[in-house]
Amino acid sequence: MGTKVLVTGAGGFIGHHLISYLKRSGYWVRGVDVKYPEYAPSVADEFVLLDLRRIENCLQATENIEEVYALAADMGGMGFISEHHAQILRDNSLINIHSLEAARQNGAKRYLYCSSACVYPEYRQTEIDVTPLREEDAYPAQPQDAYGWEKLITERLCRHYREDYGLETRIVRFHNIFGPLGTWQGGREKAPAALCRKVAVAKLTGSHEIEIWGDGEQTRSFCYIDDCVAGMHKLMRSDYREPLNLGQDRLVTINQLADMIASIAGVRVMKRHVPGPQGVRGRNSDNTRLREVLGWEPQISLEEGLARTYRWIEHQVAATRAPSEHTSGT
């Protein structure tokens, strides 16, 4: 039997893909979440429904486990993160403090924590043409939202658990991960999925106007899910103990992202700019350290990743629409 691994947040987007990757790589995997994956069954050897805010559940989850990938979090896109500060800070603190402590008590050897580009200070992200963020730029700290503050505190806790208790911790800071089998509607979806959905609806209804939050000139980089899970595994296997960016370093505006998706869909869309949460003005990943540490960086182009994601979301949108709606405008 391969190394026994726990993936928390196994019912979520990245956790689900990570389990498929780890199974292909020969691991024995236990998945834990408060819900099963929404869009495809998990290939985990065991899948247990547990609320990881409670220490006794974390102890059950980490029993006989050698390595933990800690992904469980109460999270979503800007719309969700900017509206639920208390809930996010409370739930994610409980999940992470208890998961780490339970891993220690049960003798786990390695623990990879999923942090976020949201830890970076607001004052470094005020321009569209932003300087890419290096890992050391996280301090002096001033994340925009409670979500980022909690990530910073757990990064710190991981460091102290390594120093004080010898648990080998790894910390990855994701920059906008996207791909198929992720949330695409309901309020927690992120920009790539939301835009794919809006374009697909526009295509299927023939009403070619889509809404964009703000002026659409805010910038980000986006990383495809297959690169994300490959990078996580490489980091877990490496000796590198400090926080590490994992993302693409190609900066695009949200308007450009919408145009790329429309072009993949083969439709022309009119963008209507409406008030809405936009997050920081610009954010990009500096991948210098990622290349140095892992001898690798994400491979899949934004165009290719978006094409795969759009095809899946268009299929979801078509499948959830009433039969009579399918005919209009197509």
Name residues whose C-beta falls within 8 Å of residue 8's C-beta, 6 or more positions apart in sequence.
15, 32, 33, 52, 61, 68, 69, 70, 71, 72, 95, 99
How many other C-beta atoms are found inside a 10 Å radius of the C-beta of residue 180? 22
Min CB(140)–ligand NAD separation in Å: 21
* Inter-residue contact 23 to 67 (CB < 8 Å): no
Min CB(42)–ligand NAD separation in Å: 11
14 binds ligand NAD (CB under 6 A): yes
Angle between helices 191-205 and 302-320 (to 10 degrees): 50
Per-residue x/- track, 163-202, ligand NAD (CB under 6 A): -----------x-xx-----x------x------------
Name residues whose C-beta falls within 8 Å of residue 147's C-beta, 6 or more positions apart in sequence.
75, 81, 85, 88, 89, 92, 116, 118
The binder of ligand NAD chosen from 74, 135, 150, 249 (CB under 6 A):
74
Residue nearest to ligand NAD (CB): 12
- Stretch binding ligand NAD (CB under 6 A), from 11-19, 100-108, 270-278, 303-311: 11-19
Choosing from 147, 161, 224, 310, the catalytic residue is: 147
* Residue located via tokens 């703000």: 214
The binder of ligand NAD chosen from 51, 63, 122, 168 (CB under 6 A):
51
The binder of ligand NAD chosen from 6, 13, 110, 227 (CB under 6 A):
13
Q: Calculate the dihedral angle through the C-alpha atoms of 40, 90, 225, 272, rounding to the nearest 10 degrees.
A: 100
Min CB(24)–ligand NAD separation in Å: 18
Query: What is the phi-psi region of residue 119: left when phi exceeds 0, alpha when psi lies from -120 to 50, beta otherwise?
Result: alpha
165 is catalytic: no
Binding positions for ligand NAD, 97-126, rule CB under 6 A: 114, 116
Min CB(22)–ligand NAD separation in Å: 15
Angle between helices 85-105 and 146-165 (to 10 degrees): 10
The binder of ligand NAD chosen from 68, 75, 138, 302 (CB under 6 A):
75
DSSP state of 131: P
* Residue located via tokens 């505006």: 253
Min CB(153)–ligand NAD separation in Å: 13
* Inter-residue contact 65 to 6 (CB < 8 Å): yes
71 binds ligand NAD (CB under 6 A): yes
Residues annotated catalytic, as ranges: 147
Q: Which residues bind ligand NAD (CB under 6 A)?
A: 9, 11-15, 33-35, 51-53, 71-75, 91, 95, 114, 116, 174, 176-177, 183, 190
